[in-house]
Amino acid sequence: MADRGLRAPAWLEELVRTGRPAVPWADVVRFAVAISGPLVLVALLGRLDDPAGLGAGVFGTTGALAVTLAPQGGPLRTRMRRVVAAGGFGALGLVAGAAASGEGWGPVVVIGLLSAVAALISSIDAALSLGALQLLVYTALSSGLQTTLPLPAEIGFFVAGGLWATVPVLLQAHTEAADPDRTSVGAVFTAIGDLLAAVGTPRTEDARRALTLALNTGYDRVIHSRSTSAGRSAELAELAGLLNAAAPLVEGAVATARAGVTADPVDVTAAHALGAAVVGRRP
């Protein structure tokens, strides 16, 4: 009895239990291929001992790195906005770094002005926040980098590396769900319809558990995406609002199931239609 009194309630244990996240193997493969590609090409051409060839590989790799780190889960449109922001502002950073090199107060003023501009840009949305960060990172990198390549060549190889890294991004987006976050939120409304349809059948308890799992998964995905997204995201704000709006529907569906009251088929159809509308981005 004493041991039982020291244990937390079962519902609390279930609430705080965490699972080991799955290894994102698609991202692992994409990183390995995209980032190593430029230097592998230089090695295959036998130009590693050539300062110009090595410099080309290094700048290609930096461009690939900026683009590779940019994408997050979501629709292709959102991923490409982050790719363009990271690559574009990174290239601008390389140009600005040329003006921030040397000694004296000049570089200090340049970095200070760029920091102010980056702060303003980052307040717009998450994609531009990432771009503003890349602007500062590559400005600092370029300001102290000594290379035999002219500035236009550096920018060209940087852009080429970014374009190369965009190819795996497109391939990965083609093989994954269009928007995992939106799909998980839509699944909540679909699960509500499934529970209403299962009332009065042996499937009621399984449908209730499936609804609980869908709701937890939806919140987990949206919260995780928001925690890893810098700046504002209208997409995630919309999904969070949809989840909050689903809470009364979830409570009503569970209460209906416990009371054993058969749901109106119109309500079941409406819940399924809401789920499809969320996934399909229909108003």
Percentage of the chain modeled with pLDDT above 90: 32
Of residues 39 and 225, which shows the higher confidence score? 39
What is the number of alpha carbons within 13 Å of residue 54 lying toward its C-beta?
7
Q: How far is residue 202 from each of residues 62, 194, 255, measured CA to CA in Å?
A: 58, 13, 17
Q: Can you give the pTM of this predicted structure?
A: 0.68
Average pLDDT score over residue span 163-177: 86
Give the C-alpha separation, 243 to 72, whole Å.
21
What is the sign of the dihedral through the CA atoms of 29, 187, 221 and 19?
A: negative
* 1: pLDDT strictly greater than 50: no
Q: What is the pLDDT of residue 73?
A: 67
Percentage of the chain modeled with pLDDT above 70: 87
Q: What is the pLDDT of residue 155?
A: 93
Instruction: Render pLDDT for 42-76 as a digit per residue (tens, 0 to 9).
Output: 999 988 888 888 989 999 999 999 999 887 766 77
Of residues 8 and 199, which shows the higher confidence score? 199
Instruction: Render pLDDT for 66-111 as a digit per residue (tens, 0 to 9).
Output: 999 887 766 778 788 889 999 999 999 998 888 777 777 888 888 8
- Domain range list for the chain: 25-175, 180-279
